[in-house]
Chains A and B, each alone.
Chain A
C-alpha cells in the first residue's frame, strides 16, 4: 500500500533522511518512532507528497508519487486523511466547516449535506453540539478530535497521524489512542503514525519502525520492539538518557 525506498532528503547542509525505507501493508497500522529532530514528520510529509525526496521512491497504491505532476498529486491526496500535531484547524472557519472542507470543495456537496456529514463524523470522534463553535473555543483534546473528524470526513483509505498524543494530558491522550484504534477497526484504513510516546505506539501499532539518524534501524510488532536486543531501540523505548543515542548535538536539529 505504502512503500518508501532509499529516501534521501536534505535541508541545506542538514541531511535528514539518509536512505529511509519501509513498507506498510493494506489495512496495517504502522507507527514510526524516533527522537525529536530525527525526521519523523519529514517522512510523513513525503508519504502524502507535501515534500519530494532528493532521491528515492515513495509508492502509494502502486504509484510512484515522486514523479507525479501537481494536479495528479492532488488526486492521490484524496485517498489520504491527516491529523496534525496541533490539529491545524482553519481558525477562520467553524468546526463543521473545518470537518466538511474537503467534501464541499472536492465533491461540491451542498452546505446542508456537508453539515449533516460533519455532525455524524464529529459524533464518531465523541463530540456533540460543537459544530457551530470556532476552533479558538475548543480545548487541545477537542481540537485533536475535530482534526480527526476532518481527516476521516471524506472516507480516506489511508490515515496519517503526526504525533497524535503530543501536548495532551495522559487521560485525554489515552482517549485519543482508543479513538484511533476504534476508527481503524470501523473504517478498515491503512494508517501511519509518528510519535515518541511509547504508550501510544504500543497501543495503536500493528508494527513499529524506529527511525534513527535518517534510517529505519528496526521494525517489529510492539512486543518485539519492547523486547528488542538492539541497544538503540532498548534505550529509546525505555526512555533512558544513558546509552548509544546522544541527547546533545542532534544532527538534524529543528527538523522533527
Chain B
C-alpha cells in the first residue's frame, strides 16, 4: 500500500469512527431524555431504585475499601520517599488528602463501579433483551426505560459520590497507617497537615466528578445492554463495550472536569 493511500484510509477511518461516536453519543442522550421524562410518571420506582442502590453502592463497598486503603498506603509510601529528599515529609498527609478527594477517590471508585456494577447492568439488560424479557415488559404495559434504566441511572448518580466519600476517608486513613506507623511521623502532624490544607472545594469538586461518573457509567451500561442484539455473543460484546466505554469516559471526562472545576 502506498503512503498516500494508507493516509487516505486513515482519514476515512477517523471520519467513520467520529460519525459513529457522535451517533452513539446522540443515542445515549436520547435514552437519558426518555428516562428523565419518566421521572415523575406514576408508579414511582422506589423499590427498584433501592435495589439498584444496594447493588451499586453496598455491594461495591468491599472492593472500594480494599482499593482505597492500598492506594492511600502506596501513595503515602511513595510521597514520603520523594518528599524526604527535600525535607518535606510533614506534607505527606496534605498530598494524600488532596489527591484522594480531588482525583483518586472519584476516579478509582468510578473505574471499580464501571467494572463491577456497569458490567452487571449491561449483562443483565442484554440478557433480558435477547431473551425477549424487555419485549415482555412492553406487552405487560410497563415502560422498560422507566422500569430498568431510570432506577439504575439514579442509583449510579447517588451512590458513586457516597462511595467516593468512603474511598476518601479510607484512603486518607491508609496514608495515616504508613506515615505514622512506618515512618514514625507524629499522628498530630499528619492530621493537622491534612485538615489545614484541605478545603471544602476539594471535597465538593470530587463529589461533582463522581456524580457525573456515576450517571455516565449507568447510562452507558444500560444503553449497551438495552440495545443488545446477537444472542450470547452480543451480551458478551455489550458487557465488554460497556466497561471499556465507561472507563474511557471516566478518564477523558476527568481531565475536562478537573480543568473546569479547579
Which A residues contact B (CB, under 8 angstroms)? 45, 48, 50, 70-71, 74-75, 77-78, 80-82, 84-86, 88-91, 101-102, 105-106, 108, 150, 154, 160
Known: A77-B141, A102-B140. A88 touches B43 (CB 8 A): no
Residue of B nearest to A49 (CB): B138
Min CB gap A208→B, angstroms: 23
Which B residues contact A (CB, under 8 angstroms)? 41, 43, 127-128, 131-133, 135-136, 138-143
A106 to B143 alpha-carbon distance, docked (Å): 11
The answer to whether A105 and B43 touch across the interface, beta carbons within 8 angstroms, is: yes
Min CB gap B225→A, angstroms: 14
The answer to whether B135 and A88 touch across the interface, beta carbons within 8 angstroms, is: yes
The answer to whether B133 and A102 touch across the interface, beta carbons within 8 angstroms, is: no
A85 to B141 alpha-carbon distance, docked (Å): 19
The answer to whether B141 and A90 touch across the interface, beta carbons within 8 angstroms, is: no
Known: A48-B138, A77-B138, A105-B43. A86 touches B131 (CB 8 A): yes
Min CB gap B14→A, angstroms: 24
Contact residues in A for B131 (Cβ distance below 8 Å): 86, 88, 91
The answer to whether A105 and B142 touch across the interface, beta carbons within 8 angstroms, is: yes
The answer to whether B139 and A74 touch across the interface, beta carbons within 8 angstroms, is: no
The answer to whether A86 and B143 touch across the interface, beta carbons within 8 angstroms, is: no
A48 to B128 alpha-carbon distance, docked (Å): 19
Min CB gap B191→A, angstroms: 46
> Which of B132, B133, B143 is A74 in contact with, Cβ under 8 Å?
B143
The answer to whether B139 and A77 touch across the interface, beta carbons within 8 angstroms, is: yes
A89-B136, A91-B131, A105-B141 given. 13 additional CB < 8 A pairs? A48-B139, A50-B135, A71-B41, A74-B143, A77-B138, A77-B140, A78-B141, A80-B139, A86-B132, A90-B136, A105-B43, A106-B141, A150-B140
Known: A85-B132, A90-B133, A105-B43. A75 touches B141 (CB 8 A): yes
Contact residues in B for A45 (Cβ distance below 8 Å): 135
A85 to B132 alpha-carbon distance, docked (Å): 9
Contact residues in A for B140 (Cβ distance below 8 Å): 77, 101-102, 105-106, 150, 154
A-B contact pairs, 6 of them (CB 8 A): A84-B136, A85-B132, A86-B132, A88-B135, A105-B140, A106-B140
A80 to B140 alpha-carbon distance, docked (Å): 8
The answer to whether A84 and B135 touch across the interface, beta carbons within 8 angstroms, is: yes
Contact residues in B for A78 (Cβ distance below 8 Å): 141
The answer to whether B139 and A50 touch across the interface, beta carbons within 8 angstroms, is: yes
Contact residues in B for A75 (Cβ distance below 8 Å): 141
